[in-house]
Structure 1
Amino acid sequence: MITQGTSVGLDVHARSVVAHARDVSSGEVRRARLTPDYRSIVDWLLALTGPVEVCYEAGPTGFGLYRAIVAAGIGCTVAAPSKLQRPVGDRVKTDAKDAAHLEKLLRMGELVAVTVPDESTEAARDLVRARDDARGDLMRARHRLSKLLLRQGIVYFDGSAWTGKHEQWLRRQRFDSPALQATFDNDFDAVLTVTRRRDSLGEKITEMAADSAWTPVVTRLQCLRGISTLTAFGLAVEVGDWSRFTGASIGAYTGLVPSEYSSGQSRSQGPITKAGNAHVRRLLVEAAWHHRRTYRTPSAALRARWDVAGPVAKDRGHAGNKRLHQRWMTFDERRKHACVANIAVARELAGWCWSLAVLDN
C-alpha cells in the first residue's frame, strides 16, 4: 500500500492520456487530460507531491511511457489488464473512471504487474512476430492462388505443393482471358513476394540467434526435438526471464492448463485457459507433434546440436525426448484424441524447456 506521496492512475490511449492523481496525506485529487507526448506527461507528474507512484494498463501503446517515467526517477507499474479487479454491476465506463480505478488499486497494492522487457528484447520480439505475420500472410496468399486455379479446374497432383517443382508448374500456367491472366499474375507475385519477406526475416533471426544475449538459451532449447533455431529463438525472447517461473507454473503462463470451476465437493475442468502468451503456446503446440514419432537413435542434426550445447544440456534433452515420446505412446494406447494428447505433451514440453533454459552451464 502507498502511505505517502501521490498515487497516479493513467488511462492511456493513442491520442490522449487521462490522469487521476491523489495526494495520500491530504486526500487532494487532481485530474488532467494530457497529450500522448511523454515529455508533457513526465512534466505533469514531476509537479506533484513526491514520492510519486504511477500505474497504467498494458496495451497497444507499448512500454515507451514506462521507460520515460522510470528515467525521470518516478516509480511506475504496468498493470496486467486481465488481472484487474472490476466493480460488479458498474455499467458506466469512462476514461476518467478507469484512471480513478487504477489509482485506487495502486494505492491499495492490488495491482498485478506485467514484466516489462528491455528495449533489445522488445525489438527481438517484434522481429519474431514480424516473421510470424509474414508466415500467416504467405498462407493466405497461397490459399488465394490455389483457389483461383481450383475455380478453373486446375489442380496440381504431381507431388507436394509449394516446392520448387510446384513453382515451375505454376510458372507454366497461361490463360486466354487477359483479366484472368492478370489476376493469376498478381496472386502468384504476392506468393513470391511474401516468401522472400518471410525468408529474409528468418535469416535475420538466425543471425541474432547465433550471436546475441539469447544464444546460450537458444542453444540449450534445441536439445529437444521439434525445436529448431527459429522456434528456440522465439521461445527465448517471448518468455524473456525464465527464472520468473518454475517447471509447474510455466504451463499456466502459456495457457496450456485446463480451466476449472470448483465449488464445495464438485470439481469441473474444461478446455485449456489459453491465457498468457499466445505466440509461445503456438510454438510449443507445433513442437509437441514432433515427439509422436519414434525416438530411438537421435538424428545427425540433433546430435550436432547436442555437441554445441554441452554434456549437461545433452543429457537433459535426451531425457526430455524419451519422456515426451513415452507420453505420446501412453496417450495412443489409451486412444486419446490426438489434439487433446498433443496439448498435454505441449504442457509438459514447456516444463522441459524451462529446465533447459535455467540450466547453468
Structure 2
Amino acid sequence: MFQSTFIGLDVHAQTVVACALNTATGEVQRTKMSSELEVILAWIQKFPTEAKVVYEAGPTGYPLVRHLLGHGVDCVIAAPSKLLRAPGDHVKTDQRDAMGLAKILSLGEVIEVRIPTMEQESLRDLSRTRLQAQKTLRLSKQRLNALLLRHGVSYPDTKWTVKHFDWLHRQHFGQAGTEFSYQADVELVELLATHLKRLDRRITEIAPTCEYSRVINALMCMRGIAMTTGFGLAVEVGDWTRFTGSSIGSYLGLVPSEHSSGQKRAQGSITKAGNTYARLMLVESSWHQKPTFSRPGLRLQRQLDLVDSTTRVTALKGNHRLADRWAGFEKRGKLSTKANTAIARELAGWCWALAAPLQEESKQVPAFSKENLMVA
C-alpha cells in the first residue's frame, strides 16, 4: 500500500514530541504529549492506516514499538549513529529531531534497529548484568590492591586464590580509618565474587535450553570462548544471518576509521561503532588465540564432540588460522594491542562462519511475531 504519512517521534522518559509529515499534501502536524503508550497510540491512530512511524533507539527500550506493532501500526526504530545530519546544522531541539526523523523515513533512508523478542531481551539483560558485575569486581580488586600498595604491603604469590583471601583477612592496620576502609574493600570483593559466580551458574543453567543453544555450542569451539562469552556473543548479536564475514567486523566497530580524499588515504584507530559488549568480549577472547595451536585441549575436544562435523571442521580451521596470524604479527614486531584488535576482527568473522549457517537452517519463523508482543 502507498504510504503518504510519515510520523517521527522524539521519545523521552516523560514526554514525546511527534511530527507527522504528509508527503502528498506537504501538511505537517506537530504535538507534544505524555509518554504513556495509550496516549501515543491514540494520536497516531488519527492518521490513515498506511502511516509509518519511526523513533530513535535509546534508553526507553522497546515497549513503545512492541505496543504499536501489536496494534497494527507500522513502526521502526532508527539507529542513531546512522541518521543523516547536515554538517552545518548546529541547532538541536525535540521538534527538529522529530521532523528530521519523519523526513528521512519518507525518503527511505532509515537504518533500522533489529527488534528483539521479550525472551531475547531477557537473555541480553542477563548477559549484560554479568559483564557489569565482572567490571565492578575488577575495579574493586584494583582498588584493594592500590590501598595495600600505598601502605607498603604486597602479596608475592598468585592472587585471588583461597590462600590469597586467607592472607588478606590476616592483614590489619594501626589507623582506624585505614582499617575500616580495608575491611570494607575486602568484604566488597568477596561479595562481588559471590555475585559473579551466581550469575555464571544462572547462565550455565539457561544456555542449554535457550533458543541460541546451538549457536553457543558452536562459538565455544573457538579458543578463548567459554560458556559466558559464547552466551554473551550469541545474545548480543542475535541474528548472525544479517551480516557477512566481512560486515560483522564493521557492525562491531572493529574496522579502522578512515579519512581519505583524492590521492590521500589515511586510516586511524578502530571505529568502536556498534555493539560495545560484543566487541569487548571478542577483544578479551582474542588474547587466548595467541599460544601456538597444534591440537585441541581437553575442554575444546569435549566441546567439538557436541557439534556437527561441518562446525567442527570450521572451528579447527579458525583456531589454526588465528594462531598462525598471531605468530605472524609477533614475527613482524607488531604492537600486541594492535595485533590483538586485528585478531578480534578476524575472530568475529570466524564466529559468524560458525553461527550464521546454523541460524540459516532454522530461520523459518520470523524473529518478531505477535506471540512475543506485550500489549497493554
TM range (shorter): over 0.9
Q: How does 1:269-284 map to 2 (within 5 A)?
A: 269-284=267-282
Q: Per the alignment, in what secondary structure is the counterpart of residue 336 of structure 1? A: coil
* SS of the residue 2:29 aligns to: strand
Q: Partner of 1:298 in structure 2?
A: 296
The TM-score, its normalising length taken from structure 2, stands at 0.92
Contact in 2 for aligned 1:5/1:50 (Cα 8 Å): no
Which stretch shifts more, 106-115 or 263-272? Answer: 263-272
Equivalent residue number for residue 85 of structure 2: 86
1:346 Cα shift? 1.1
Cα RMSD over matched residues?
1.5
Please report how far the alpha carbon of residue 88 of structure 1 lies from its aligned counterpart in structure 2 after TM superposition.
3.1
CA deviation digits over 1:8-36, x for unaligned, max 9? Answer: 00001112110011233333322111111
Larger CA deviation: 266-275 vs 159-168: 266-275
List gaps (5 residues or longer) in structure 2.
Answer: 362-376
Structure 1 residues 112 and 302 mapped into 2: Cα distance closer, same or farther (>3 Å)? Answer: same
* Post-superposition offset of 1:76: 0.7
SS for the counterpart of 1:309 is: coil
- Report matched runs for 1:183-202 at 5 Å: 183-202=181-200
Give the residue type in structure 2 aligned to 1:162: W
1:100 is aligned to 2:122 = no
- Work out whether 1:33 is the aligned partner of 2:32: yes
- SS for the counterpart of 1:18 is strand
The equivalent of 2:123 in structure 1 is 124
8 Å CA contact 1:4–1:25 kept in 2: the answer is no
- Asked if the contact 2:2/2:50 (under 8 Å) is kept, the reply is no
**Does 1:328 find its partner at 2:306?**
no
Task: Please name the residue that 1:289 is paired with.
Answer: 287
Alignment deviations for residues 106-151 of structure 1 (CA, whole Å, 9 cap, x no partner): 1111211111111111111111111111111111211222222222
Matched, 1:222 2:220: yes
Structure 1: state its 5+ residue gaps.
none
In 1: Cα distance, 2:142 partner to 2:264 partner: 47
Q: Residue 3 of structure 1: CA displacement?
A: 5.1
Residues 49-97 of structure 1: per-residue CA shift (max 9 Å, x gap): 3322000011111111111111110111111111111123223211111
Moved more, 36-45 or 307-316: 307-316
Please report how far the alpha carbon of residue 235 of structure 1 lies from its aligned counterpart in structure 2 after TM superposition.
0.6
Q: How many residues align?
A: 359
Residue identity in the other structure for 2:168: L
Using the size of structure 1 for normalisation, the TM-score is 0.96
Offset at 1:5?
A: 4.1
Amino acid at match of 2:332: R
Counterpart of 1:137, as a letter, is: T
Partner residue in 1 for 2:260: 262
1:181 deviation in Å? 2.4
Asked if structure 1 preserves the Cα contact closer than 8 Å seen for 2:3 and 2:52, the reply is: no
How many angstroms apart in 1 are the aligned matches of 2:111 and 2:71? 23
Shift of 1:101: 0.9
Q: Distance in 2 between matches of 1:325 and 1:135?
A: 27
Of all paired residues, the percent bearing the same amino acid is 45
